[in-house]
Structure 1
Amino acid sequence: MSSNANWTEADVPDQAGRLAVVTGANTGLGFETARVLAERGARVVLAVRNLDKGRQAAAKIAETAPGADVTVQELDLGSLASVRAAADAIRSAHPRIDLLINNAGLMYPPKGHTADGFELQFGTNHLGHFAWTGLLLDHVLPVAGSRVVVVASVAHKIQAAIHFDDLQWDRNYGRVPAYGQSKLANLMFAYDLQRRLAAKGEQTIAVAAHPGISNTELMRHIPGSGLPGFSSVAGLVTNSPAKGALATLRAATAPDVVGGQYYGPKGFRELMGYPVLVSSSDQSRDQAVQERLWTVSEELTGVTFPV
């Protein structure tokens, strides 16, 4: 076991008897998160958009965790119809959920829209996960020690605000500020959810985490990412997917985690390193904006929460 200063996957406690649902688990951070949880004995559901890639990921996990119970569920967070269908399937198959890990995301795509007409990053990163969590939460709440983990980003501080006057970026789309808005929304959702859970005296907690900068497929829309050698150079200044996933794993499994906490890498500007408690922007803690975002999110998705 490592010290808390250098928390690694060796510190993940036994997960036998627990069920974890991880979005975007076929690659990158989500895959590494699912792999470690499976190796520690959890039953894991890989909630993924591409079933073939999900099955390949499940087979790969089985190589390192023989006998692991890993299943695949189709989920397109950019379609509320898909979110509802996937949530129904999960609810039917699993009466209890110990860990709901909202990991999937898009970063810096060209302007686009989800199936429901939402801006692609806000619709997928925030609204899709908001609806997903709301539809599954009543299977999480009865479970002792259960957690909702929301994967945010240092980008919640970069050109980020919740643009209530133009949430879908119809007037002036910018890849960076649109991503920042979506990740700020992720963090605000985690904090507001925790406050609502605590107010009702629920045993479930909501926690946030971020990977710093991690060399995953999420970087595919960064300018220059297609150039020869980009991945090798990026690997020198980013966390590997396995190391980037540590903050999520700590938030999901460490016994000393408290609801409303935020974990990220301890290195320079939280870009790389082992996971520790980190702070977020003052803006992310604005309760009035959190509550307004929650109300708008319920209106846009048609999903209301049992808290």
Structure 2
Amino acid sequence: MWIFGWKGPSGFSARSTAEEVTEGIDATGLTAIVTGATSGIGVDTTRVLALRGAHVVMAVRNVEAGKKLKESILNEIPSAKIDVMQLELSSMASVRKFASEYIASCLPLNILINNAGIMAPPFSLSPDGIELQFATNHVGHFLLTHLLLDTMKKTARESNREGRIVLVSSDGHKFAYNEGIRLDKINNEAEYNCYRAYGQSKVANILHAKELARRLKEEGVNITANSLHPGEIATNLARNNGLLNGNIYAHQCLDSIKLSMLRRVIQGAATQLYVALHPQVKGVSGEFFKDSNLSKPGTAPAQDEELAKQLWDFSMKMIKKQ
């Protein structure tokens, strides 16, 4: 268990911080996009990437919040290279606009960290008519990756440096519907369960990385794609959790265990930074990481290669409709 700080083969554990797993790594010359950079583990992911010398593009819903975070990081790291761009992942139009503007900037792209996510809201549809968690956590990132892939390929080719695509999933994938992903019932409000739908979107993250990695390998492209579980982190991700809303005892209980059981954000950002930057991960693709170590998804659907292919085809159809 992570609370005992047991280290895995990588030499790191769930108690390792983002700075520890990137110690000694020089990311100068690398350009990275981080979605959801202004909250939760996105904040420290951005800060530590900048600390190690990477040029970070913060893809955020709230540009003002992005500018404030940029200012804060520059106060700590005056040499930091940070840009802020607007992105609403639940809207395909916003994703397309972001990608178009990024490509027009002629910036290279070495690292894409698909970090943003929402958890367990009441049933609602995205602007494109897709269940909101699936739209935000999977479809938005699927489209973003698809649109920026040529830029990543060009960067990898011209720089002769491995590109890395990182998809932040969760052990919450274990809560998905029994089928893993209900491709024929994505928008079925009658059978909607907020936690199972969240798990479904997290299975989708894992399978997206798996199938993307397979395709990149077939193409012989010097880009890897991996997914990960960042840990049970004390952030505002669970703000929609009905078990906590209005329950003072639940809040008091949660507050009392945060420091003892939930990882701090600086620890929660560690695994995605390990996957994005560490030399140990060079050439590793299509895998799942936990506690900055290789792991295995906890359910059969999350390891199903055929389901990964079906999800890919389903997602391609979704993004082509818009």
TM-score, normalisation: structure 1:
0.91
Q: Does structure 1 conserve the Cα–Cα contact (< 8 Å) formed by 2:34 and 2:113?
A: yes
Partner of 1:240: 264
Which blocks of at least 5 consecutive residues in structure 2 are unaligned? 1-6
> Once the two structures are superposed, what CA deviation does each residue of 1:48-86 show, in whole Å capped at 9, x if it has no partner?
011111111111221221121111010000100000000
- Secondary structure of 1:72's partner? strand
Deviation at 1:303, TM superposition (A): 8.4
What is the distance in 2 between the residues matched to 1:255 and 1:38? 18
Within a 5 Å distance, the mapping from 1:195-234 to structure 2 comes to: 195-222=214-241, 223-224=243-244, 227=248, 228-229=251-252, 232-234=255-257
Amino acid aligned to 2:123: K
Deviating runs (4+, > 6 A) in structure 1? none
**Count of aligned pairs between the two proteins:** 294
Which blocks of at least 5 consecutive residues in structure 1 are unaligned? 266-274
Q: Does structure 1 conserve the Cα–Cα contact (< 8 Å) formed by 2:153 and 2:223?
A: yes
Q: Does structure 2 conserve the Cα–Cα contact (< 8 Å) formed by 1:150 and 1:207?
A: yes
Q: Does structure 1 conserve the Cα–Cα contact (< 8 Å) formed by 2:21 and 2:270?
A: no
Higher relative contact order (CA 8 A, sep 6+): 2
What is the distance in 2 between the residues matched to 1:170 and 1:232? 33
Matched, 1:156 2:173: yes
Deviation at 1:220, TM superposition (A): 0.9
Matched, 1:83 2:109: no
- Secondary structure of 2:207's partner? helix
What is the distance in 1 between the residues matched to 2:231 and 2:133? 18
Q: Does structure 1 conserve the Cα–Cα contact (< 8 Å) formed by 2:21 and 2:273?
A: no
What is the distance in 1 between the residues matched to 2:143 and 2:90? 11
Q: Does structure 2 conserve the Cα–Cα contact (< 8 Å) formed by 1:109 and 1:221?
A: yes
Q: Does structure 1 conserve the Cα–Cα contact (< 8 Å) formed by 2:61 and 2:87?
A: yes
Within a 5 Å distance, the mapping from 1:1-307 to structure 2 comes to: 4-6=11-13, 7-8=16-17, 9-12=19-22, 13-142=25-154, 143=156, 144-160=161-177, 161-222=180-241, 223-224=243-244, 227=248, 228-229=251-252, 232-235=255-258, 236-257=260-281, 258-265=284-291, 275-280=292-297, 281-302=299-320
Query: How well do the aligned residues superpose, as a CA RMSD in angstroms?
Result: 1.8
TM-score, normalisation: structure 2:
0.87
Amino acid aligned to 1:292: Q
What is the distance in 1 between the residues matched to 2:70 and 2:54? 13
- Secondary structure of 1:216's partner? coil
Deviation at 1:159, TM superposition (A): 3.3
Distance 1:174 1:278, change over 3 A: same
Q: Does structure 2 conserve the Cα–Cα contact (< 8 Å) formed by 1:225 and 1:231?
A: no
What is the distance in 2 between the residues matched to 1:288 and 1:261? 16
Q: Please state which structure has a larger fraction of its residues in helix.
A: 2
Partner of 1:272: none
What is the distance in 2 between the residues matched to 1:64 and 1:214? 24
What is the distance in 1 between the residues matched to 2:53 and 2:60? 21
Judge which range, 58-67 or 18-27, deviates more: 58-67
Aligned identity (percent) is 37
